[in-house]
A and B are shown apart, each in its own frame.
Chain A
């Protein structure tokens, strides 16, 4: 079991660390590798690093073996108290969603009822029937021969063994059922107990059954959640009450390297809270058709109202008729935009409202949504392009490593840079969903400044990575990339700190109530 909080250098994490020291590892790395850069303001971040950050939560990673051990230990405790077998204690705990205290308390007064509910038979008189009774007909396959094994629970509904096995296999393998597998008889509520199941089915099905039980155990406990990464068998233990997820974004990092939200199971979506994410995703799904239509179609010039078609990628539009220059996204005059496209990171409510008033009101609100949506989507897309670029570059680096005196460690800076870039883009992406719902007040200016700083830093690093690599200049490039990587990481931290603190302090006002 490893305890940890995510720190900025999670991109260090991969399969090669020992689970017990992954937090320490993180700290060490950041001090040695990134600590000495003299970037302004970065020194503050280093000091801050010692404390837990506002956007971090406590959690631990539990491998499957620990999950199984926890069940056994709870069961052996209960079996001691109630005087039942380990297996029976396990079944009892399952039917009480692993709430030991409640089980023991209720069992004292209503033991028989509770045993029945859990499908447990304590006495020998009611153990399963294994022989075919006289005049037997299996009501599943209609076989009426008197030979061959059969199976029936204490309810007396007997079926032939092959049918029972097929039935249980169907329930477990096809339907993923493990908690309440009932007697095959129509309307019979007798639960097939674990012992009977294990006797009746193949070992592979028993393994699947056990896996389902482990799944159900984790699902039963509020403080546990499986890591959603494919093929990962770890669970995360996070003791925060779920009610706090309105104001905390519980991002966790599994030992497998996957970072995700403990609250909802989606990939890391800081700084947006789970409720906001849900609402945004629903909006995106609902609006995608209309949005596609609108974005594919024309607009009217803010001045002369003649129809303008967007045909290039640039947002700088010039009306063919009156030569009015404006921004395609916010419809505001281009003169206010400076020279860089990312200056339109805010949907200036004042300077462009007049221009947009000429458009239909509904269109304006859709455009507002599109503004944020396009940026949201753009970072996802760009992160993919960054990855593609990295794959290409990686080959080149490998070659360099073979032909020059650079060591493996020394060529790792590109991987780190791309990893930081990706996580920054993911953060940026969610800042746009966050901003979409954010009501403007005097606190939001700082947020938008931070967002823009991160955006500029991200694009600068991205651009740097696109530069062709020349062998003579590799040391220089490496230093530049390292510096920019540190800087981008620190900008991300600023955004996350500010938004997380704001959420905790109730500083943000949102248009909508996403706290359910």
Chain B
């Protein structure tokens, strides 16, 4: 749950998101300043065209000074070299490259572009091992970022 000084920011983000959602993004559930569920549609002309995904955002009390916890949930987790089958996403802006000027919308855009630039639908090579050992919160993983060309 966001601190009061940042609750205002989240309510503004929510309003912007409802009025001006990035392409393919829709709000499924955002009733508090703790957990939001968003829908993400695979962009036309990409390997994910026609697919629907669900994203979960968890905001800590220090959001936006600290990044939110973001993961894919639901039955369809995109098959992508940087997305583990448990929904964890290997994307540096969600962890050590987070900046407080980043927003829910900007994260969605980063994810869209990550999906769109994918050339072959496959899981990360260490998927089997990772999902066995990973903690529930992806922020507790010591991420060694895969090359960001994919």
A residues adjacent to B (C-beta < 8 A): 139-143, 162-163, 166-167, 170, 174, 184-188
Contact = CB atoms under 8 A, between A and B. Distances in A.
Given A140-B101, A184-B101, A186-B99, A162 B5 contact: yes
B92 to A, nearest CB: 11
B9 A141 contact: yes
Residue among A139, A162, A188 with the most chain B CB within 10 A? Answer: A139
Nearest to A141: B9
27 contacts: A139-B100, A139-B101, A140-B9, A140-B64, A140-B65, A140-B100, A140-B101, A141-B6, A141-B8, A141-B9, A142-B8, A142-B9, A142-B12, A163-B100, A166-B5, A166-B65, A167-B65, A167-B100, A170-B65, A174-B62, A174-B66, A184-B99, A184-B100, A185-B99, A185-B101, A186-B97, A187-B99
Contacts of A188: 99
Nearest to B7: A141
Interface string B33-75: 0000000000000000000000000000010111000000000
Interface of B: 5-6, 8-9, 12-13, 62, 64-66, 93, 97, 99-102
B101 A186 contact: yes
B33 to A, nearest CB: 13
A170 B101 contact: no
A296 B8 CA distance: 60
Contacts of A184: 99-101
A142 B12 CA distance: 8
A456 B6 CA distance: 67
Contacts of B101: 139-140, 184-186
Nearest to B98: A186
A148 to B, nearest CB: 12
Given A140-B64, A170-B65, A186 B102 contact: yes
B95 to A, nearest CB: 12
Given A140-B100, A142-B8, A186-B93, 6 more contacts: A140-B9, A141-B5, A142-B13, A166-B5, A185-B99, A188-B99
A200 to B, nearest CB: 14
7 closest A-B pairs by beta carbon, nearest first, are: A186-B99, A139-B101, A170-B65, A140-B100, A142-B12, A142-B9, A184-B100
B96 to A, nearest CB: 10
A170 B6 CA distance: 14
Nearest to A186: B99
Nearest to B16: A142
A68 B62 CA distance: 33
A167 B101 CA distance: 11
Contacts of B66: 170, 174
A188 B97 CA distance: 11
A174 B98 CA distance: 15
Contact of A143 (B8, B13, B93, B99): B8
B129 to A, nearest CB: 17
Nearest to A171: B65
Which of B6, B100, B102 has most A Cβ within 10 Å? B100
A351 to B, nearest CB: 44
B94 to A, nearest CB: 12
Contacts of B93: 186
A21 B66 CA distance: 50
Contacts of A185: 99, 101
Contacts of B12: 142
A143 B12 CA distance: 10
A500 B131 CA distance: 47
A185 B65 CA distance: 11
A162 B8 CA distance: 14
Contacts of A141: 5-6, 8-9
Contacts of A167: 65, 100
Nearest to A162: B5
Contacts of A187: 99
